[in-house]
């Protein structure tokens, strides 16, 4: 078997998350699943997201969580760990203000998760800069030494969270609005502030399946190719918040007389999320953050298959009786 091997001069940075059972993502110097060209690559990871407050999620998704939904974030996190999550992501609930009591609620929710599982933990903010700037740095300080992944930092709001990650030893999630130029500029700003590239995860903003996912896919491809060509400021692992985008779509969770023909909403959501995650993994996502344990299991099988096929190609490449390899252009 003659494999045409393409060598790239750039490599995605390897990022470590967590301390008790740390995981690594990135490290690849090839297109997704071309690991016969890039043997230092780490396997893509599935993060399972848990809510600070279950009431903020669709009924079909909460129903799937069963008793864990009522028991709080820690129980939900244990369920995620039992479901094979590589890491757990807790999403801070939306709130009107960041007063002291609400900030303490968020701290208690994160502590519940951190104390309930040994897996690495990611913390996703509310998306409101004024609130996140008050809550996320406090979380960073409280959990110094846990090497959390904290997000999201944006171009207009990166400084407080960057400083907190530098001071307390965490990884940052840098969010850009499906724009490769803003993505690169944000990484430049964060790295110039003092946080190294091997502590940055790129969130390119995920479009839901049927709602712009092909645009996300193309931006991720462009960023990966630029990174492999030597652009260090785009050479960070990519995290996609698939569950957040999927379960807010009517195709995934809406029920009623007009959607009876669509089938059970819980089943629809599972399939919508698993297909969206699989597509983004093909575009080069290193972490997919999912909400449904069943969908995550389907995606894990998909990753297993692609990883095994890549390893088989690598073994054939190493087998001198199988014809060896050729370099691109030979």
Across the chain, mean pLDDT equals 89
CB atoms within 10 A of CB 278: 20
Q: What is the mean pLDDT of the segment spanning 169-196?
A: 97
Per-residue pLDDT band for 330 (boundaries 50, 70, 90) equals very low
pLDDT single digits (tens) 143-172 = 999 999 999 999 999 999 999 999 999 999
CA angle 8, 10, 13 (to 5 degrees): 135
Structure tokens at 191: 């790295």
- pLDDT for the residue numbered 321: 59
Q: pLDDT tens for residues 301-314? A: 999 998 888 777 76
Q: How many CB atoms lie within 10 A of CB 304?
A: 11
Query: Can you give the residue range of the structural domain that contains 93?
Result: 3-327
Q: Are 21 and 118 in contact (CB under 8 A)?
A: yes
At 40 the pLDDT is 64
pLDDT value at residue 287: 98
End-to-end Cα spacing for the chain: 15
Domain of 41: which CATH number?
A: 3.20.20.20
- Is the bond preceding 152 in cis, omega lying within 30 degrees of 0? yes
Strand pairing category for 121-124 and 87-91 = parallel
Residue 60: its pLDDT value, please? 82
Asked if residues 140 and 169 have their Cβ atoms less than 8 Å apart, the reply is: no
- The share of the chain scoring above pLDDT 70, in percent, equals 92
Q: How many domains, the chain?
A: 1
What confidence score (pLDDT) does residue 318 get?
A: 60
Whether the per-residue pLDDT at 25 is higher than 50: the answer is: yes
> Could you report the per-residue pLDDT of 194-212, keeping only the tens digit for each?
999 999 999 999 888 777 8
Q: CA gyration radius for the chain?
A: 20
Burial 248-269 (b: 16+ CB within 10 A, else e): ebebbbebeeeeeeeeebbebb
| Per-residue pLDDT tens over the stretch 95-135 | 877 677 778 899 999 999 999 999 999 999 999 988 999 99
**Whose CA is closest to 149, among 25, 40, 245?**
25
Q: What is the pLDDT of residues 27-76, one digit of tens each?
A: 999 998 887 777 668 999 999 999 999 888 888 888 888 888 888 999 99
């Amino acid at each position: 078997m003659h494999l045409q091997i393409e060598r790239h001069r750039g490599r995605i940075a390897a990022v470590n998350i967590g301390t008790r059972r740390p995981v690594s993502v990135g490290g690849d110097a090839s297109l997704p699943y071309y690991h016969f060209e890039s043997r230092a690559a780490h396997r893509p990871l599935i993060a399972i997201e848990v809510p600070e407050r279950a009431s903020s999620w669709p009924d079909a998704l909460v129903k799937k969580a069963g008793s864990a939904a009522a028991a709080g974030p820690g129980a939900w996190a244990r369920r995620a760990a039992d479901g094979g999550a590589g890491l757990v992501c807790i999403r801070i609930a939306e709130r009107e203000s960041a007063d002291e009591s609400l900030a303490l609620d968020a701290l208690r929710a994160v502590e519940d998760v951190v104390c309930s599982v040994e897996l690495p933990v990611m913390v996703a903010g509310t998306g409101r800069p004024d609130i996140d700037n008050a809550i996320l740095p406090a979380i960073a300080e409280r959990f110094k030494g846990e090497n959390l992944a904290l997000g999201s930092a944006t171009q207009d709001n990166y400084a407080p969270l960057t400083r907190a990650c530098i001071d307390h030893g965490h990884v940052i999630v840098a969010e850009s609005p499906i724009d490769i130029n803003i993505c690169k500029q944000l990484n430049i700003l964060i790295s110039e502030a003092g946080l190294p590239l091997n502590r940055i995860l790129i969130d390119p903003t995920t479009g839901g399946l049927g709602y712009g996912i092909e645009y996300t896919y193309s931006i991720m491809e462009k960023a990966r190719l630029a990174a492999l060509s030597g652009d260090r400021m785009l050479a960070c692992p990519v995290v996609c918040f698939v569950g957040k985008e999927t379960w807010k779509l009517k195709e995934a969770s809406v029920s009623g007389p007009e959607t009876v023909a669509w089938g059970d909403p819980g089943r629809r959501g599972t399939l919508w999320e698993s297909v969206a995650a699989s597509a983004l993994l093909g575009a080069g996502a290193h972490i997919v953050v999912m909400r449904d344990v069943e969908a995550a299991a389907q995606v894990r099988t998909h990753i297993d298959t692609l990883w095994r096929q890549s390893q088989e190609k690598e073994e054939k490449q190493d087998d001198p009786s199988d014809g060896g390899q050729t370099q691109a252009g030979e």
